[in-house]
Amino acid sequence: MKKTIVLVVLFIFPLVAYLFFASGVNQFGRLPVLTEKISDVSSLDPGTTFKDKITILGFLGSDLEYKKGNAFNLNQKIYKPFYEFNDFQMVMLVPDGTQEKVEDLKKDLGALVDISKWKFVFAPEKEITRVFNSLETDLELDAQLGTPYVFIIDKEMKLRGRTDDEDEDEGVKYGFNTISVAELNNKMEDDVKVILAEYRLALKKNNADRQK
């Protein structure tokens, strides 16, 4: 009887535990889709698109001198750890007329890391509002057409986020507040890792299927 118990503990229990955690990975390993398809920016800048890219999308507004802290937080906590992934990019929509302010910001950001994957798209108010509204969130742009929140867009131009975030009143987290270093560290970084892993696993599966 004792031998049977020992065998169960040594062999059966680890197998059950493995199956439990494996099913958890399959069930919870994907970042939920919150909006099926958002408006692309390729019509505003032919050299920039969300298609086939994992994008961090932001709206800096015209008061960039007051948003530098947000940009630095994002640069250090999200961009710097992930920018070497081939399909990763940051896209910031900014109002027409802010070109000089953006150049100043790029110089400051570029002193810390290669910022070649920071893309700044200049657009009129109507177009910035159109792209933002296509996210279909519960957030709003301020009077300067900016928001401290940034958004994760997948390769199919879908908005990804959390449907059961414990700190949100509604349980849905559409974007991540760049004012909060803790939120970038504890939530957004994890979610970016999840979506990158999701695509890496899909790529491995496709490659394995081709080799069969």
Q: Is 146 helix (H, G, I), strand (E, B) or coil?
A: strand
What average pLDDT does the segment 125-153 reach? 97
**Distance in angstroms (rounded) separating the CA atoms of residues 30 and 204:** 16
Count of structural domains within the chain: 1
CA atoms within 13 A on the CB side of 80: 14
**Domain membership flag for residue 170:** yes
Strands 54-60 and 146-153: antiparallel
Written as six digits, the tokens of 138 are 């519960």
H-assigned helices in 94-188: 99-110, 125-134, 181-183
166 — pLDDT class (breaks 50, 70, 90): confident
**Domain membership flag for residue 17:** no
Check whether 76 has a pLDDT greater than 60: yes
Check whether 27 has a pLDDT greater than 50: no
Check whether 93 has a pLDDT greater than 90: yes
Check whether 99 has a pLDDT greater than 70: yes
Check whether 162 has a pLDDT greater than 60: yes
Average pLDDT of the chain? 86
- Quote the pLDDT of residue 113: 95
**Distance in angstroms (rounded) separating the CA atoms of residues 59 and 94:** 6
**Domain membership flag for residue 15:** no
- Quote the pLDDT of residue 89: 97
- Quote the pLDDT of residue 18: 40
Which of left, alpha, beta for 99 (phi over 0: left; psi -120 to 50: alpha)?
Answer: alpha
Least Cα distance to 88 among 120, 36, 50, 39 occurs for: 50
**Distance in angstroms (rounded) separating the CA atoms of residues 61 and 102:** 11
Check whether 170 has a pLDDT greater than 90: no
Check whether 47 has a pLDDT greater than 50: yes
Continuous segment of H or E residues that includes residue 24: helix 13-28
142 — pLDDT class (breaks 50, 70, 90): very high
Check whether 23 has a pLDDT greater than 50: no
- Quote the pLDDT of residue 62: 97
CATH code (residue 157):
3.40.30.10
Check whether 17 has a pLDDT greater than 90: no
Choose between 118 and 15: higher pLDDT.
118
**Distance in angstroms (rounded) separating the CA atoms of residues 54 and 181:** 21
Q: 36 Cβ partners below 8 Å, 6+ apart?
A: 158
Check whether 204 has a pLDDT greater than 80: no
Q: 66 Cβ partners below 8 Å, 6+ apart?
A: none
**pTM for the model:** 0.83
Q: Give me the domain span that covers residue 178.
A: 36-211
